[in-house]
Structure 1
């Protein structure tokens, strides 16, 4: 259900360090050596709501949280999130689309971890990354979740483009299968990448994804997406890498050999996935997830050894020093170790205006939903530390595997020392404009105050209710008088608590956004989105096209 992501050109001169694995030849390609005339590139942007001339082109990375693309569908441009964990093109348009048809009697509710979009299947001309698909099926959304209305639409994001394997779960495939003969449904329901590969046999059946990194979450890094070709200068690197077959032919899950902390194996890995190799864990590589999720045992091993780090039930994360003690964390996949840059291990949280503190929390979190397909969900926090090539496999007319899908990963590291020096430089620069770092005692005091005020308010309201209920049945007016008397007090107490809770809620939302919206179907994780600097024409309050499909703001 999850799949790869896309191509981005690394322009930020970041050198990452990864130790060689005993017994394996070490291959890496430094970020500062990257340059290519091929593929799609991101460009720096500021905010979806910012006024600018023209519109963004190619791919967009904002705050290391969302990797977005501009598409043209039915003659109109839209910004969508690229998701390797889902298959379908799902859109909630704010402008007219020249549709070729709307599939009669089709109705889909595409439900993701943090939202949903509902509407019929439509077909229109799609232009993306220099490729044109004359007839592309998509979900033409006519209603959308409150979550998306609150978080994604204000940022200019109008949908999701799934770039998973075409054999992955698909709402469009399932709906078309119920309406048409199987072969016709399969051809009509191909996702965008499958259509690109199908119409041009000269293309290699793969994508290359390079996720850009910003300066410690401040600003915008560049990235690269290649379809069927490698970026300039990377051909030899990828040609000489042994591919890692996916654990199943339907998603981008691969076995993880080990997780290392400061040069030592963190824990002995074990998998809950049926058929997984002994001593390994199954990890899904997913660009639709902003952070990464692992088992609690692995998470504690990653952060628990950091001096002065502590687990916070309130944050549901490790609270760690912002600068000192950043560990050397490596994930070994296919015999190659990939160092996680310390900037990808922690998030910097500014607690103003409610508290004049800064706090740093773990970016990796616990995989906390029932799942029998993978043990780890390695999103952008991991994928920024590996250039990835995703081969989409070969299948016969019946859908049987002829050649397994596979992944090639290339480390962009030059050495652990350079990585740590880069981390210190960027983190110092970020912290210079922020409030002082909160101590454990200060954070616990803040949470304790909120909890005690909340309990006091509950007790006060309960006591007043009990005392008034003791009056006889004829004391209705007395009850009203009491409520009139106590209402200002209760409302005042609740108002004060609300202000404090609002600040903590803001922090919680920030952490959720930094962790990333998990987009693949069936996932239930924290929300993830980031602003997109695109200026749209002011939409009409509603619009009806020739098929009388209603579009919303």
Structure 2
């Protein structure tokens, strides 16, 4: 599934499983010496990598929610299969000839890899694309070709060494984290050394869809009962809309590295953000309805999977509105206009009470899931930055050796220490406050008209820079959710 934020621009167990960094230097250099493919983090809203396809360099979004490799632009050293296909995405489909070419990325090499060659346009900039890592049942051209050429990149790599484990791992960095500085890493059949304890974490079985709808199969698991712990320390009620054998089940959660902001039911978003002083649920033109709240609020939420608790870093629970304005401009691909023209006037002028505004990152769904949804939540980058994730494909991969023919599963290793995360939040969000003493109810006084105008001018300047960056090459801000989100 490919996206930005939906807005987008462009969840107590018997034991905690918390990874506490003891060697900051090692963490900072992690991406430089780890096996696999180094990921580049842009503003915590996409993670991309450099690949070589047919002797040409492309920048691709790393997307666990789709299965195909596609690039925009002509790949000279490639072979046309004579087939055409269309990749289905919520906002913009991609289509074109299916070709094959030699693929090199990181330590990995795949000869004659099938891919979709897309005509460049304003939405799909030349030399950019997407590397899908999802199950092959979601591929747009898997059934058009003969194996092994028909197989997605991951499957080709798994088959190169059939005795090796059928798993890949993803580690995502946090750009403004003052203590843990790394961008990200993707590995296939390997574990990043200092995180080997992930192999001892609970195995969360991937829930499989029936064959007649397996085109919507995602990397999805069941959340524990009372699996979302809200800011008040109490479970947030959530009744699954996914039906298993005709009965309500535990909520089904999709892990998707192509989604900037997690997507949750409205009731969950309300429970997370609605009780904070100054919080508002607002509608943004071209985007939808979202929660905003003063940036000074530290929002603490945890998720439970397999009896383990996974705390979310408070820096991942909210995003500064200034970045939102930039992203909206990027999404619309227009020169910066006054915030009022985009329905952002109140946002750019702080909150209604004059405080610096942030947007809640766990947003109500901005797309239709249909009358029979196959999942209840999509946990994207804002969640995945808090865990080191292993996806084992098991018997998703045909012709695996007998020892590998097991049910596909996910393992999560928590990376967030709540104590350190609190200190990080204070350093990043509160150390730069300039809005004076708080009043009796803990709210800062409204900003003056002068400071408001200065703030708006700064936001406008930042927005212009953001749009120029996008126009220079970050095609992904136009990308929108893939398969399960159409």
If the length of structure 2 is used for normalisation, what is the TM-score? 0.74
Equivalent position of 1:243 in the other structure: 203
Measured after TM superposition, the shift of residue 349 of structure 1 is: 1.7
Q: What is the match of residue 147 of structure 1?
A: 123
1:22 to 3, 13, 34: 13
Q: Which runs of 5+ in 2 are unaligned?
A: 4-10, 210-216, 327-337, 340-347, 351-355, 436-442, 468-474
Deviations along 1:418-475, one digit per CA (max 9) or x if unpaired, are: 3112111012356679xxx9989999xx9xxxxxxxxxxxxxxxxxxxxxxxxxxxxx
Partner of 1:373: 374
Output the aligned Cα RMSD: 3.8
* CA deviation vs aligned residue, 1:238-280 (integer Å, no higher than 9, x gap): 2211210011174211111211113533432211112188562
The offset of 1:388, in angstroms, is: 0.6
Pairwise CA distance, 1:69: 1.0
Q: Distance in 2 between the 1:234 and 1:388 partners?
A: 10
> What is residue 440 of structure 2 aligned with on the other side?
none
Equivalent residue for 2:311, pick from 325, 336, 339: 339
Query: CA 1:206–1:440 in structure 2 vs 1: closer, same or farther (change >3 Å)?
Result: farther
How far residue 394 of structure 1 moved from its aligned partner, in angstroms, is: 2.0
Paired residue secondary structure (1:196): helix
Match of 1:420 in 2: 422
Displacement after TM superposition at 1:305 (Å):
1.8
Write the deviation string for residues 7-65 of structure 1: whole angstroms up to 9, x where unpaired: xxxxxxxxxxx9xx332x32222245465543246xxxxxxxxxxxxxxxx32111111
> Which residue in the other structure is 1:262 paired with?
231
Once residues 334 and 302 of structure 1 are traced to their aligned partners in structure 2, the CA distance between those partners, rounded to angstroms, is 22
Residue 143 of structure 1 and its aligned partner are, at CA, apart by: 5.2
Aligned to 1:392: 393
Partner residue in 1 for 2:70: 90
Aligned mates of 1:430, 1:157 — CA distance in 2: 39
Contact 1:64 1:221 (C-alpha < 8 Å) held by counterparts: no
For the 8 Å contact 1:286–1:380, the answer to whether it is kept is: yes
Listed as ranges, the matches of 1:327-366 within 5 Å are 327-350=299-322, 357=350, 358-366=356-364
- Higher Rg of the two aligned structures: 1
Q: Is the 8 A contact 2:13 2:309 kept in 1?
A: no
Q: Is the 8 A contact 1:107 1:120 kept in 2?
A: yes
- When the two structures are superposed, what TM-score results if normalisation uses the length of structure 1? 0.65
Out of 69, 75, 82, the position equivalent to 2:55 is 75
TM-aligned CA deviation for residue 175 of structure 1: 3.5
Q: Give the 3-state SS of the residue equivalent to 2:425 in structure 1.
A: helix
Residue 93 of structure 1 deviates from its aligned partner by 2.1
SS of alignment partner, residue 70 of structure 2: strand
Q: What is the count of residue pairs matched by the alignment?
A: 405
In structure 1, list runs of 5 or more residues that go unmatched. Answer: 4-17, 42-57, 177-183, 447-499, 525-553
In structure 1, the residue matched to 2:408 is 405
Q: Take 2:476 and 2:118, find their aligned partners in 1: how far apart are those partners?
A: 26
**1:213 maps to which residue?**
174
Q: How does 1:221-300 map to 2 (within 5 A)?
A: 221-235=182-196, 237-248=197-208, 250-257=217-224, 258-262=227-231, 264-275=233-244, 278=248, 280-300=250-270
SS in structure 1 at match of 2:193:
coil
State how far apart, in whole Å, the 2-side matches of 1:267 and 1:393 are.
33
Question: What CA distance in whole angstroms lies between the structure 2 residues aligned with 1:163 and 1:270?
Answer: 29
CA change 1:194–1:209 in 2 (3 A) is same
Q: Is this contact kept in 1: 2:231–2:299, CA < 8 A? A: yes
Rounded to whole Å, the distance in 1 between the matches of 2:199 and 2:39 is: 25
- Does 2:470 align with 1:523? no
